[in-house]
Every structure is written in structure tokens, then in C-alpha cells.
Amino acid sequence: MRILSGIQPSGSMHIGNYLGAVRQWVNSQNPDAYYCIVDLHALTLQIEPARLREQTVDYLASLLAAGLDPEVCTLFIQSQVPYHAQMNWLLECVATYGELSRMTQFKEKASRQEGYRVGLLTYPVLMAGDILLYSAQQVPVGDDQRQHLELTREIAERFNNRYGEVFTVPVGVQPKASARVMDLQEPTRKMSKSLASPLGLIYLNDTPQEIDKKIKKAVTDTDNEVRFDWESKPGLSNLLEMYSSFSGESPEVVAGRYDRYGDLKRDLAELVIASLEPMQRRYRELRADEGALRALAARGAEKASAVAGSVYERAAAAMGL
Ligand code: AQP
């Protein structure tokens, strides 16, 4: 099964990224799976160059620590495969301004800043290129990327109708639980790096004390009845779903064991700390050898270029270049 997915090295990786996307990557890795750190996407928002460089390596270590095996799948850095930027231009001449300006993430992010960059509008096209370059059949992503994936399908179909069959039309795959992990302080909003509220996100490398504090301070409600109900109890349901994602039980079964929010929060904190601990240990070991991480990324880029190059050449030729 040909798979492609990516993650932006903006901010630090959080459990929304892990439960919504990265854990699926680990479970579905195979020799035909391509996973990339999409550093070009990170340029859509303000980020210090030195920080971006550093975080890109942090993400390599985090993905390996989470369980990706470069002997099994291909792991690479987007900007090291120039076909992504080249394909972006071809597809910008297929996508329309109207469809890009209707994207919910664009509207949300643009509304929070003055003078936003053109890249903020067009990055779903870059993402479409990321996917189509690898003829991906499946794209494991969190729920927030559903709209961008639908756009990718439309662009692929339009291209194929206009210029001939070049692209595979992909499908998105969401996890059964935690496709949308919510902010712990504002549980009606997704947990998100660019809206980092200090207590709202759990980062994969948070200390046990930080995790414990954030979960204990998570916003719930006042009626003190433990019930899984997103409509009337979003804060509590977010905690129950998080518990369920780490323990494998259904959120209803977890809810049935508790009478008090405090007890649930205490046990959830313990569960999250214990689940992340082996990953954190492995992260520290891997991050200590930056040379090895960069060498691994270079090998990944070489493998990825071979696949992306041939699809790019076919797309460019079909358009008359
Ligand atoms: N809260 C979330 N719940 C479940 N899945 C999530 N993902 C992101 N947030 C959640 C999934 O993680 C993958 C990588 O995401 P990304 O870093 O490339 O970009 P994003 O979706 O835009 O993530 P953020 O954290 O919200 O970053 P900003 O704030 O920069 O937009 C994707 O598969 C995504 O679905």
C-alpha cells in the first residue's frame, strides 16, 4: 500500500499530532510508506531560521522515537527533495483562488494576523503536491486535514481530466479514536501548535510534572458526572478519549469506572506519563547524535527523489513543459 503523510516542524510535537497522525504512521509503515517533515510548510508562519533548522532535527528524532523504522519505511525532509517546490507551481496552475480562499484553516489563521503570507493561502496546493508526487493511495492524517485532502482529490481529478492520467487519487485515513484531540483549556478548539496556550497542550517531551499539572488543570464542567458526551461535556470527553487512545478501552468503559473527575485526571496523568516515558528516553538517545539523524534524512531524500522525480517528469510533460 503506497502511503504518504507529513508533519510541520513548527513548535514542538504534541499528543494531538501523535494520536491523530504519527501513531497511525507507525502502525501502517511498510516499504511503500513515505513520511516527511514538511519544513517548507513551516515557512507559512513566522519562524526563526535557526529554530526551524533545530526543530527539523528534533522532529526526526521524535518520529524515530515514536517507532518509525527507516529500514522499513522512508523518512525524509521535504525541502531536500526539490520536486515538492516544483510540483507546487504546476498545481498552483490547476487549483483556483476560489477553492483555496474557502479553506477553513486559511480563514482561521489569516483572521489572526495582519499581512499574512501568500503561502498561507496556497499551502494546501503544496500539500496536494506532497501527496501526488508519491502516487499515494492512503494518507493517514488527523481530522483537521480532511478538507485539504478533499482538495487534493479534486486537484488530482481535474489534472487527470485536463492533461491525461498522471495522478493516483488518494483517500484520507483517520484513526478510530483521537482524530481530533482538543485543547485542554479550550476543549472546543483543537490542540494546535500555532495557538499554543501554555496549559492547553501536552508535548511529547513534557516532564511528568508538566503533564500532571496540565491534566489536573484541564477545563471540565461543574456537574461532576463522569459521562462520555462531546455535546455537553467536551472537556471531560476529551480526557476520556485521550485515556481510551492510550489504554485501548472504549471511552464509555473508562467513564463507567469513575465517579469523580479528580480520580480520572490522576489516573490519566499516570497513564500518559507512563506511555510517553519510553519514547522520551529513546528521543534523548537519538537526539544526541545529530550527524546520524542528518545522514538518515539524506538517505531518505535520495529514495524519495527517485519516486517523486518520475511522477514530476510525467506531470510536467503532460502539461507541455
Ligand atoms: N489536535 C489534533 N488532533 C489530532 N490530530 C492532529 N493533528 C494536528 N493537530 C491535531 C495532525 O497531526 C498531523 C501533523 O500536523 P501538522 O503539524 O502538519 O499541522 P497541523 O495539522 O496544522 O497541526 P497543528 O499542531 O495544529 O499546527 P499548526 O498550529 O501549525 O496548524 C496532521 O495529520 C494533523 O491532522
pLDDT along the chain (321 residues), means of 10: 96 94 96 98 95 98 98 98 98 98 94 92 98 97 94 98 98 88 95 85 97 97 92 96 96 96 97 98 98 98 98 98 98
Distance CA(184)–CA(218), nearest Å, equals 5
Q: What is residue 303's predicted lDDT score, i.e. its pLDDT?
A: 98
Q: What is residue 214's predicted lDDT score, i.e. its pLDDT?
A: 98
Q: Are 153 and 67 within one domain?
A: yes
201 assigned to some structural domain: no
Which three three-digit cell numbers place residue 25? Answer: 504512521
Q: Would the CB of 142 count as within 6 Å of ligand 1? A: yes
Q: Is 83 exposed, middle or buried (0-12, 13-18, 19+ CB in 10 A)?
A: buried
60 assigned to some structural domain: yes
Distance 192 CA to ligand 1 centre (A): 6
Distance CA(298)–CA(125), nearest Å, equals 25
Q: Are 311 and 279 within one domain?
A: no
Q: What is residue 224's predicted lDDT score, i.e. its pLDDT?
A: 84
Q: Are 300 and 171 within one domain?
A: yes
Q: Which atom of ligand 1 is nearest to the CA of 7?
A: 18
196 assigned to some structural domain: no
Which three three-digit cell numbers place residue 220? Answer: 471540565
- Count of positions (residues) in the chain: 321
Is the Cα torsion angle 257, 276, 142, 28 positive or negative in sign? negative
Q: What is residue 198's predicted lDDT score, i.e. its pLDDT?
A: 84
Q: Are 79 and 228 within one domain?
A: no
Q: What is residue 179's predicted lDDT score, i.e. its pLDDT?
A: 85
Structural domain of 271:
208-284
Distance CA(103)–CA(121), nearest Å, equals 8
172 assigned to some structural domain: yes
Which three three-digit cell numbers place residue 185? Answer: 483549556
199 assigned to some structural domain: no
Q: Which atom of ligand 1 is nearest to the CA of 10?
A: 30
Q: Would the CB of 16 count as within 6 Å of ligand 1? A: yes
Q: Would the CB of 10 count as within 6 Å of ligand 1? A: yes
Q: Are 268 and 297 within one domain?
A: no
Q: Are 276 and 161 within one domain?
A: no
32 assigned to some structural domain: yes
Q: Are 67 and 123 within one domain?
A: yes
Do the beta carbons of residue 196 and residue 162 sit within 8 Å? no
Q: Are 86 and 214 within one domain?
A: no
203 assigned to some structural domain: no
| Domain containing residue 301: CATH number | 3.40.50.620
Mutation probe of ligand 1 site: the residue of 3, 4, 5, 8 with most atoms within 8 A of C-beta: 8
Going by C-beta distance under 8 Å and a sequence separation of 6 or more, which residues neighbour residue 320?
none
Looking at the chain, which runs of residues are DSSP E strands? 3-7, 33-37, 74-77, 138-140, 171-173
Pick the residue whose CA is nearest to atom 24 on ligand 1.
192
Pick the residue whose CA is nearest to atom 30 on ligand 1.
194
As for how many domains the chain has, the answer is 2
Contacts of 156-162 with C-beta under 8 Å, sequence gap 24+, read: 156/128, 156/132, 158/94, 159/91, 159/94, 159/315, 159/318, 162/94
Q: What is residue 223's predicted lDDT score, i.e. its pLDDT?
A: 86
Q: Which atom of ligand 1 is nearest to the CA of 191?
A: 1
Helices (H), 29-103: 39-42, 49-66, 83-92, 97-101
Q: What is residue 178's predicted lDDT score, i.e. its pLDDT?
A: 79
| Domain containing residue 252: CATH number | 1.10.240.10
Catalytic residues: 109, 190, 193
Distance CA(165)–CA(315), nearest Å, equals 9
Q: What is residue 199's predicted lDDT score, i.e. its pLDDT?
A: 94
The CA-based dihedral angle spanning residues 74, 77, 80, 83, taken in that order and rounded to the nearest 10 degrees: 70
